[in-house]
């Protein structure tokens, strides 16, 4: 057994590992795989070991990104993947096939192979099975059920061994708890000690009474992993399908299998929405399709109006002796009429303006209303046809607010919203190049003018509508984009209204900072989705843009800020891309991140706010002054506290990207 520890440093080589050592998923994917010594050392450090099952690349990557220590390729795949009633239905060949997928998908976690029923009846057979597993999968940790010290002594010479006592699913005739009496607990303790002395590295305790499991854990040097064995074990294991709610209704779930999500219902809802859109003809949309350049489209129209008829006349000629009567001219007219009808429909769609609702009449709400009401710049290396369609369609921006002074100002100023640029800042932020790989820090892009808010230029006026909340609610689901820019305390009622006025295929985007408001929004979105509703995809865009309100409908853009765009759940990824393209086309510096980075960027923004807001208030200075090198130590001390809390909650927050 020593070879498996010595190759990676052994139990003593864990000084660089601990809570928060992994700082980001990008670093995680470049990190070396955990060693047995590092994981076993957690028992000595009194840190819990996290283990769950994995059966393919998807579940392996999920477990990896969630920082799980051990992934078990369990024979439970017979139940949750193959649909068999007993785990004995899976054979060694099938287990090896799935184990290869897990080993390929995981990069950080240790992978454990569950030896299937009937493959380790004797020490010789167990060794042969283990050697095959190691050679074909590369996995060097195997699990076997039962009190088999003789088998363990032989197998541990070829791979590390995890033993399994208590309830044994492969041979159990009932699923009652074990260790429920003092005598039974003593028997299990003796078995555990014997297996440890035989060379086991881990011990799984299944359905063992909590008192007995805690007693066993205290008296062993090796870690115990509990499943239905109480909190006194050194670690816990769950079947990932039970944990995520993937098995669907009618599936028997044990008491110990806590459900942390209900992905089955969410998946059914998503696929049902897809089916409904296909049947209704609303999918795919233009954003899901590719189009010709305008010149090529005109050529095709010319061909269809002239050349197609001749082509059809030739192809439609009946063969000799045929009685089929084909009217080529009628077919050509139908084709031409169809193209004209399609063209008219596209023109009608292009005439319908893109409707944006900014919910919140504060300075940031007014700033983003002004941004969205602006003209769009032609792409440098993009889809010119799409840009032309966006130009033809235009944008109609509405601010929804409870501020009577803003509504009155809209009437007085005839809907003209003015934005000034602060002195020392560029007239428009330069869009970031997504191909360059450059990353932006909220701290470094929040460069406010140190001398105060001094306006430069007369400002630019853009037309917006301002309506009351009651008026907005009566419109129905008419908006393509709803931007929430309200105070955190108003999030719940305004979020409900926002989802009520946004189209099902539209976007609900949030500018809100902190952690409470995003949590409320995500919970509301998920509740609507699980109840069978069709909430708009939810996108978050934490930003370091800032503004000051001179008077109603007259704001001043302060500094050169940056926007990070990230969708909630994978279903929002496409909408996040659309929002990213819209902001870039309007000259906003922004960055698009994958949906699984959402928690990370929300915590990153929270860390920056915890640094900027109190320090700027206490020191009576502008935010930009905090970027001064003399403030670096103070910034680090404040932000490090937030980073520590985030890491303790499993958020792989990167300290460097904030400071």
Task: Read off the pLDDT of residues 275-285 as tens digits, 9 standing for 90 and up.
Answer: 888 887 888 88
Question: How many Cα atoms occupy the beta-carbon half-sphere of 311 within 13 Å?
Answer: 9
Which residue did the predictor score with more confidence, 12 or 382? 382
Q: Are residues 558 and 445 in the same domain?
A: yes
Over residues 77-93, the mean pLDDT reads: 93
Q: Which residue has the higher pLDDT, 325 or 364?
A: 364
For residue 563, report the phi and psi dihedrals to the nearest 5 degrees: -120, 130
My answer on whether 242 and 364 are in the same domain is: no
Confidence of residue 446 (pLDDT cuts 50, 70, 90): very low
Higher pLDDT among residues 640 and 427, named by residue: 640
Structure confidence at residue 59 (pLDDT): 96
Residue 474 to residues 315, 497, 519: CA-CA distances in angstroms? 56, 10, 27
Q: Is the pLDDT of residue 225 over 60?
A: yes
Catalytic site residue from 84, 125, 154, 206: 206
Q: Which residue has the higher pLDDT, 252 or 536?
A: 536
| 466 and 528 co-located in one domain | yes
**Residue 110: predicted pLDDT:** 96
Q: Are residue 586 and residue 626 in the same domain, yes or no?
A: no
CATH number, domain with residue 371 = 3.40.50.720
Q: Identify the top-confidence range among 98-112, 255-269, 450-464.
A: 98-112
Number of independent structural domains in the chain: 3
| Res. 441 pLDDT band, cuts 50 70 90 | low
Decide if pLDDT at 654 tops 80. Answer: no
Residues 556 and 626 in one domain: no
β strands within 485-623, DSSP E: 502-510, 538-540, 546-551, 554-558, 563-567, 590-592
Contact 113, 99 (CB under 8 A): yes
Domain boundary among 214, 246, 266: 266
Cα separation, 164 vs 113, in Å, equals 13
- Tens-digit pLDDT profile for residues 520-576: 998 888 888 878 778 889 999 998 888 888 889 888 887 678 899 999 888 888 889
Same-domain pairing of 228 and 108: yes
Q: Is 373 in the same domain as 234?
A: no
Return the beta strands (E) in 573-626 as ranges: 590-592
Q: Residue 224 and residue 322: Cα distance in Å, rounded?
A: 82
Half-sphere exposure of 60 toward its Cβ, with a 13 Å CA cutoff?
Answer: 22
CA distance 374 to 633: 40
Domain identity same for 511 and 538: yes
Classify residue 53: in a domain, yes or no.
yes
Q: Stretch 424-440: mean pLDDT, rounded?
A: 42
Mean predicted confidence (pLDDT) in 142-164: 97
Do residues 432 and 441 make contact, with C-beta atoms less than 8 angstroms apart? no
The answer to whether residue 638 is domain-embedded is: yes
Average pLDDT over residues 149-166: 97
In a domain, 338, yes or no: no
- Residue 310 reports pLDDT greater than 70: no
**21 assigned to some structural domain:** no
Average pLDDT over residues 412-423: 77
Predicted pLDDT at 442: 53
Q: Please tell me whether residue 226 adopts helix, strand or coil conformation.
A: strand
Question: What is the sign of the dihedral through the CA atoms of 29, 30, 33 and 38?
Answer: negative
Are 229 and 110 part of one and the same domain? yes
Highest mean pLDDT among 27-31, 133-137, 324-328, 333-337: 133-137
Residue 150: CB atoms within 10 Å: 11
**Across all residues in the chain, what is the average pLDDT?**
80
Domain shared by 184 and 143, yes or no: yes
Q: Are residue 571 and residue 616 in the same domain, yes or no?
A: no
**Mean pLDDT along residues 645-657:** 72
Lowest mean pLDDT among 28-42, 246-260, 310-324, 582-596: 310-324
DSSP assignment of 311-368 equals HHHHHTPPPTT------HHHHHHHHHHHHHHHHHHHHHHHHS-EEEEEE--SHHHHHH
Assigned domain for 565 exists: yes
Domain boundary among 222, 247, 266: 266
Both tokens assigned to 59 = 């579940």
Check if 206 is active-site: yes
Nearest Cα to Cα of residue 179 among 220, 226, 126, 145? 226
pLDDT-derived band at 152 (thresholds 50, 70, 90) equals very high
Residue 402 has pLDDT above 50, yes or no: yes
Please say whether the beta carbons of 622 and 574 come within 8 A. Answer: no
430 pLDDT higher than 90: no
- 496-516 average pLDDT score: 85
Q: Does residue 427 lie within any of the structural domains?
A: no
Q: Which of 244-253, 307-316, 385-394 has the lowest mean pLDDT?
A: 307-316
Give the domain-ending residue among 266, 299, 322.
266
CATH number of the domain where residue 194 is located: 3.20.20.60
31 within some domain: no
Residue 342's pLDDT band (boundaries 50, 70, 90)? very low
Residue 300 falls within a domain, yes or no?
A: no
What percent of the chain has pLDDT above 70?
Answer: 79
State the Cα–Cα distance between residues 659 and 475, nearest whole angstrom: 44
3-class SS of residue 163? strand
pLDDT over 50 (residue 628): yes
Tell me: do 58 and 135 sit in the same domain.
yes
Q: Can you give the residue range of the structural domain that contains 583?
A: 354-378+386-411+438-593
């Amino acid at each position: 057994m020593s070879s498996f520890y010595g190759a990676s440093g052994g139990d003593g080589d864990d000084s660089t590992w601990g809570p928060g050592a992994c700082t980001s998923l990008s670093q995680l994917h470049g990190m070396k795989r955990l060693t047995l010594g590092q994981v076993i050392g957690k028992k000595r450090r009194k840190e819990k070991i996290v283990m769950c099952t994995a059966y393919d690349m998807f579940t392996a990557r999920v477990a990896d990104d969630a920082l799980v220590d051990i992934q078990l390729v369990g024979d439970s795949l017979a139940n949750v993947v193959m649909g068999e009633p007993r785990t004995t239905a899976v054979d060694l060949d099938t287990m090896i096939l799935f184990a290869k997928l897990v080993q390929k998908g995981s990069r950080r976690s240790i992978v454990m192979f569950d030896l299937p029923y009937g493959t380790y009846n004797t020490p010789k057979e167990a060794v042969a099975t283990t050697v095959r597993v190691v050679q074909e999968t590369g996995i060097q940790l195997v699990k076997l059920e039962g009190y088999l010290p003789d088998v363990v002594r032989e197998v541990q010479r070829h791979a590390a061994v995890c033993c399994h006592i208590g309830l044994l699913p492969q041979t159990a005739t009932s699923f009652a708890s074990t260790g429920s009496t003092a005598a039974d607990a003593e028997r299990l303790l003796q078995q555990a000690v014997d297996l440890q002395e035989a060379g086991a590295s881990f011990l799984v305790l299944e359905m063992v009474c909590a008192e007995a499991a805690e007693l066993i854990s205290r008296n062993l040097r090796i870690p115990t992993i509990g499943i239905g064995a109480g909190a006194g074990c050194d670690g816990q294991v769950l079947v990932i399908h039970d944990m995520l709610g993937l098995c669907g209704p009618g599936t028997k779930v044990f008491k110990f299998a806590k459900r942390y999500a209900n992905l089955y219902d969410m998946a059914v809802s998503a696929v049902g929405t897809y089916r409904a859109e296909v049947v209704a003809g609303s999918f795919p949309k233009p954003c899901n399709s590719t189009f010709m350049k305008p010149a090529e489209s005109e050529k095709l129209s010319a061909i269809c109006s002239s050349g197609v008829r001749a082509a059809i006349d030739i192809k439609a000629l009946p063969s000799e002796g045929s009685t089929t009567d084909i009217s080529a001219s009628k077919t050509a007219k139908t084709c031409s009429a169809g193209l004209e009808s399609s063209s008219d429909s596209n023109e009608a769609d292009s005439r319908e303006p893109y409707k944006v609702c900014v919910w919140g009449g504060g300075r940031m709400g007014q700033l983003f209303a002004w941004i969205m009401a602006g003209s769009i710049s032609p792409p440098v290396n993009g889809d010119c046809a799409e840009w032309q369609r966006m130009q033809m369609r235009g944008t109609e921006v509405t601010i929804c607010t409870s501020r009577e002074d803003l509504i009155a100002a809209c009437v007085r100023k005839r809907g003209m919203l003015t934005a000034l640029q602060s002195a020392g800042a560029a007239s428009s932020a330069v869009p970031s190049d997504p191909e360059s790989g450059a990353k932006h820090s909220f701290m470094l892009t929040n460069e406010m003018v140190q001398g105060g808010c001094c306006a430069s230029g007369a400002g630019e006026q853009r037309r917006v509508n301002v309506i009351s909340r009651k008026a907005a609610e009566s419109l129905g689901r008419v908006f393509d984009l709803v931007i929430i820019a309200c105070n955190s305390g108003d999030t719940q009622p305004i979020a409900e209204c926002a989802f009520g006025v946004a189209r099902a295929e539209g976007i609900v985007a949030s500018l809100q900072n902190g952690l409470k408001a995003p949590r409320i929004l995500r919970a509301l979105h998920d509740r609507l989705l699980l109840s069978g509703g069709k909430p708009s995809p939810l996108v978050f865009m934490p930003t370091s843009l800032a503004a000051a309100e001179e008077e109603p409908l007259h704001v001043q853009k302060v500094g050169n800020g940056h926007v990070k765009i990230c969708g909630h759940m994978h279903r929002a990824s496409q909408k996040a891309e659309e929002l990213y393209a819209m902001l870039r086309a309007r000259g906003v510096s922004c960055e698009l991140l994958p949906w699984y980075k959402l928690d990370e960027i929300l915590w990153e923004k929270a860390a920056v706010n915890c640094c900027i807001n109190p320090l700027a208030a206490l020191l009576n200075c502008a935010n930009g002054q905090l970027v001064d090198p003399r403030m670096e130590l103070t910034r680090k001390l404040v932000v490090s506290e937030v980073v520590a809390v985030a890491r303790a909650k499993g958020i792989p927050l990167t300290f460097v990207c904030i400071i």
